[in-house]
Chains A and B, each alone.
Chain A
Amino acid sequence: MSQQAVNGVSHRGRVLTLDSMNPNVKRVEYAVRGPIVQRAVQIEKELKEGAKKPFTEVIKANIGDAHAMGQKPITFFRQVLALCSYPALLEDSKFPEDAKQRARRILEACGGHSIGAYSASQGIECIRQDVARYIEKRDGGIPSNPDNIYLSTGASDAIVTILKLLVCGEGRDRTGVMISIPQYPLYSAALADLGAVQINYYLDEDNCWSLNITELRRALSAAREHCNPRVLCIINPGNPTGQVQSRQCIEDVIRFAKEEHLFLMADEVYQDNVYAEGCQFHSFKKVLFEMGPEYSNTVEMASFHSTSKCYMGECGFRGGYMEVINLDPEVKAQLIKLVSVRLCPPVPGQALLDLVVNPPQPDEPSYATFMKERTAVLSALAEKARLTEQIFNTVPGITCNPVQGAMYTFPRITLPQKAIDKAKELGLVPDMFYCMRLLDEEGICLVPGSGFGQREGTYHFRMTILPPTEKLKVVLQKIREFQLHFTQEFS
């Protein structure tokens, strides 16, 4: 007899309970929008209701959302998208001719000449062709086949889709997926959801978060004991760590993938966000092909890009694509089926992607403004990257690797033992305790390093470098003050 029946409680058991639900879903966590953000939202609510706090706003430096932090959209992109949304504006003389031309071309490719029609599941064909041309240009002429391009709802969608294809097997044969620690928690969330085995390889914090092949080897052979490793994920430029891998490193990774028969997933959404001198973005595709046919004909790979980052920062449009290389034709057929279930990626995002890969050219009217805006965004980010590293490294208890690229800093914090003990008392991971306190006392929302993974006994937080420069300076100052005061409190 059930406990409820014994108690005489008339509450009937539900169909969907913690016991009956998919156990994998219970393992899914996503720190970027996790408990600390929920607390931040709660605080914002309290502020709105008039609560008195030591701050007047919550600064959400937890999420890589440029527009949320005041970055302006690229005028040309928004003009074309407005024309696509309401084609009557094509008669409006206030819009430049090159914007109108792009809009007409996109609308021509849409069903019923409307961005409200479904597109093919793989994405609008002429946009895939434009993406292929962009990749060719970026990679010094190495051919790209539009059939290998799949447009997606942000890069996340494509990443999860590929993982769905790759994860299979039971028990000891279950697919193992190698991912860097620290990593962007979409990967760990997706792997938990799919019931795949996560294989952690540690980036070297003492060497600017570089990737060592010896570490890859270690992780792989340990993993072979209990799963079937088939995939190697790499984020370059890195999130949260911001390192830009050297060309040599990329070659080594490709060689490793070939030797160990691993499918490479190259997350390159920050490819335009490179700041440090001496650093350069090298696409995995380019390096693969430059290593010759022995590699380019055999290594299976998917590279991902998106409209959410770089200089456009259009997260809300959910635009993205992946390029697949050397995929088995039968697997490709399954891939087509998989992407068809969601019908198609959002058409405005596809249109935006088309503009990103096909921006104004020097001979076009919008070129000057476009380049000015693009340069302004990227140079502001570079300056903020430099500033952040500089200031954090002056704070006792905080050490910060150079922010070579992407949009984040992932500094290491030294926590006094008393603070660690207090955290444990409260049932919190130490860096979550730190971040919660920072949120409550200064109104700054960061994501604890535990959300991304870190070496045992080390603590970090991830902060975006996106707030406007003056605000960023204030944030850095406040964190410095907090760090000093926190250290003192728990000394």
Chain B
Amino acid sequence: MWNMKQLEYGALARRANQIKDELRQGVRRPYKEVIDVFQGDLHRAGMKPLTFVRQVLAACVYPPLINSSNLPLDVRQRAQEELGRCVGGSVGSYSAAPGIPEIIHSISEFIKRRDGGIPSHPENIYISPGSQWSISNILNVLVNREASPRTGVLIPVPCHNKTVLSITQLGAVAVPYYLSEEQGWALQVEELQRALESAKGVCNPVALYVINPGNPAGYVQSQKSVLEVIRFAWEKRLFLLVDELYQDRVYGENCEFVSYKRAVSEMGPPFSGTVELASFHSVSKGFSGECGLRAGYVELVNLDPAVMKYIHTLFSKDACSPVLGQIALDLMTDPPKPGDPSYLLYKQEIEQIRTVLLHSVKKVHEVVNSLPGFSCPPIEGGLFAFPRLHLTPKAIQKAKELGLQPDTFYCTRLLEEGGVFTGPGWEYGQKEGTYHIRFCIAVPQDIMEELLRRLSSFHMTFMKDFS
């Protein structure tokens, strides 16, 4: 019997792997496989890679495929183009430290198109092995380890824990600001003010980290909210770090992704020329879902040119980003166009993913809100559901006895008995006395149905056991 008292970092993940191994070896459990929705990992959750992307990558890796009639013409041409940009015509050579120049150019064009024509300068863009890598690098420049008081960074609660880990590992202080669950996880400026006040005497806040669309909470900031945050950052002299990985994931009918870069620019002077901003995107969470290739980028706006020189050196000591990941980024920012041989299939696959997600978002909201002791605001964007658990005192008590956080207790039981691997809310931060779970909603339809079936069944039993 697994010792429920062992609460260490990654314990739940290790247990999930253990169970997966047991199932592979034929051990009987109430389910045949674990539904792994712990991470925002589309492929692990069962979604398929985009055909065009994988065909191009394969031809880049093994150039004889460029002459293969089995691959569409545009795939072969694109692979040839990509290889032409690689030094020595090989994906095995290093690229320039910020990234392959033509791909950076592609990204800047993508940003420009996205932002209604507002120019994006290639020399302000750096590609890195995943967005967390550039977030860490930028934080490294911002955090003065020798400073007293220590450097502070405002972070949302809830927040995915990687950035928080980076902040603490650099010796800085994470200053939490609470998103308002009652208002669909809205970011309220008064709360930013309160957080800033709370930092007095504790640390010196220099940066404000925002996730839009959210993770784990599935909100999408309104235009008004974005402008308020920018104004606040400007007034309080905070460097804006904006995590926009889920910009392609917007479902809410009246919701629209508003890029901070665009908003800053459209606000005009003095903001447009002075708000210091780093916005992050990646190839991991878009439709291609290529988490394992490790490619993301940061666009830096209004930074001191003297500081930019050092940022450049910092990125260059890491050699460069994996070239296949850079190519995947290029394919994301410059996909097949109408008329291209691969366009129809590409569009079809994207539509399929979009349809599945829209369906998931509705179903999850419906099912979770129909269960007693479970509630969830509409999922406007992102890749996760972050429903609230209204646990009974009995359940909370049992958790305490076992030395577990109440939502970890729930997730542990859900894994063991229901075969669904989710993340406990405490790992992301939440208001004291509230409990949540997080799970990825980017799963194929049949798996989502199974997930919700198991979740409902487990939840009813759990609530009954601890009523």
Contact = CB atoms under 8 A, between A and B. Distances in A.
A245 interface: no
Contacts of A21: 141-142, 144, 307, 310
A69 B92 CA distance: 11
A22 B316 contact: no
Contacts of B129: 153, 318, 342, 346
Nearest to A60: B87
Contacts of A85: 54, 57-58, 61, 324
Contacts of B143: 22
Contact of A114 (B43, B96, B130): B43
Interface stretch (B104-112, B209-217, B284-292): B284-292
A248 interface: no
Interface in B70-105: 70, 86-88, 90-97
Nearest to A345: B294
A8 to B, nearest CB: 15
Interface string B36-67: 10010111111101000011011101100100
Contact of A79 (B62, B95, B133, B237): B62
B317 A116 contact: no
Contact of A16 (B42, B276, B313, B325): B276
Interface stretch (B162-170, B252-260, B448-456): B162-170
Contact of A68 (B94, B130, B306, B319): B94
B62 A117 contact: no
Is chain B's interface secondary structure helix, strand, loop, or mixed overall?
loop
Interface size class of B (residues with CB under 8 A): 35 or more
A317 B304 contact: no
A372 B132 CA distance: 41
A405 interface: no
Interface in B145-161: 145-146
Contacts of A376: none
A315 interface: yes
B188 to A, nearest CB: 23
Contacts of B26: none
Nearest to A190: B317
A63 B293 contact: no
A117 B324 contact: no
Given A21-B144, A111-B41, A347-B293, A342 B58 contact: no
B58 A82 contact: yes
Contacts of A164: 169
A348 B326 CA distance: 13
Contacts of B45: 112
Interface string A38-77: 0001000000000000000000000101111111010000
B239 interface: yes
A25 interface: yes
A318 B144 contact: no
Nearest to B133: A342
Contacts of B96: 41
From B41, B270, B276, name the one whose CB has the most chain A CB atoms within 10 angstroms: B41
A314 interface: yes
Contacts of B302: 14
A318 B322 CA distance: 6
A154 B143 CA distance: 26
Contact of B140 (A22, A33, A189): A22
Contacts of A193: 140, 314, 317
Interface in B322-351: 322-325
A348 B322 contact: yes
Contacts of A349: 322
Given A81-B62, A82-B61, A117-B41, A18 B289 contact: no
B199 interface: no
A29 interface: yes
A65 B323 contact: no
A297 B16 CA distance: 33
Given A16-B141, A16-B304, A117 B317 contact: no
A33 B306 contact: no
Given A316-B320, A316-B323, A333-B9, A20 B206 contact: yes
A394 interface: no
B92 A314 contact: yes
B43 A116 contact: yes
A65 B322 contact: no
Given A111-B41, A316-B320, A17 B304 contact: yes
A202 B166 CA distance: 35
A230 B306 CA distance: 34
Nearest to A315: B94
Interface in A102-120: 110-112, 114-120
A340 interface: yes
B9 to A, nearest CB: 6
A16 B307 contact: yes
B291 A67 contact: no
Contacts of B272: none
Interface in B260-291: 270, 274, 276, 288-291
A341 B165 contact: yes
B39 A82 contact: no
A346 B87 contact: no
Contacts of B93: 65-68, 315-316
A89 B142 CA distance: 47
A343 B130 contact: yes
Which of A112, A116, A118, A154 has the largest count of B CB atoms less than 10 A from its CB?
A116
A347 B292 contact: yes
Given A68-B94, A316-B93, A316-B94, A116 B276 contact: no
Given A24-B145, A316-B323, A346-B322, A63 B307 contact: no
Contacts of A28: 310, 313-314, 317
A341 B94 contact: no
B306 A18 contact: yes
A313 B270 CA distance: 50
A341 B169 contact: yes
B43 to A, nearest CB: 4
Nearest to A72: B90
A190 B96 CA distance: 19
B321 interface: yes
Contacts of B201: none
B318 A78 contact: no
Nearest to B14: A120
B414 interface: no
A312 B92 CA distance: 9
Listed residue (B136, B304, B306) with the most chain A CB atoms within 10 angstroms of its CB: B304
A346 B295 CA distance: 9
Given A89-B58, A116-B292, A12 B274 contact: yes
Interface string A175-198: 000000000011001100101000
A153 B132 CA distance: 13
Contacts of A20: 144, 206
A63 B94 CA distance: 9
Contact of A118 (B39, B68, B88, B306): B39
Nearest to B289: A116
Contact of B237 (A15, A22, A153): A15
Contacts of A314: 92
Contact of B307 (A18, A33, A34, A73): A18
Instruction: Please list the 4 inter-chain residue pairs (A to B) with the smallest Cβ-Cβ separation, ordered nearest first.
Output: A111-B44, A347-B292, A316-B323, A82-B62
17 contacts: A10-B270, A15-B276, A28-B317, A33-B97, A78-B61, A81-B62, A89-B65, A112-B42, A114-B43, A117-B41, A118-B292, A315-B92, A316-B91, A317-B92, A340-B165, A343-B291, A347-B293
Given A117-B41, A313-B92, A316-B320, 13 more contacts: A21-B141, A25-B314, A28-B314, A30-B313, A82-B65, A112-B44, A116-B288, A316-B95, A317-B322, A318-B319, A343-B291, A346-B129, A346-B324
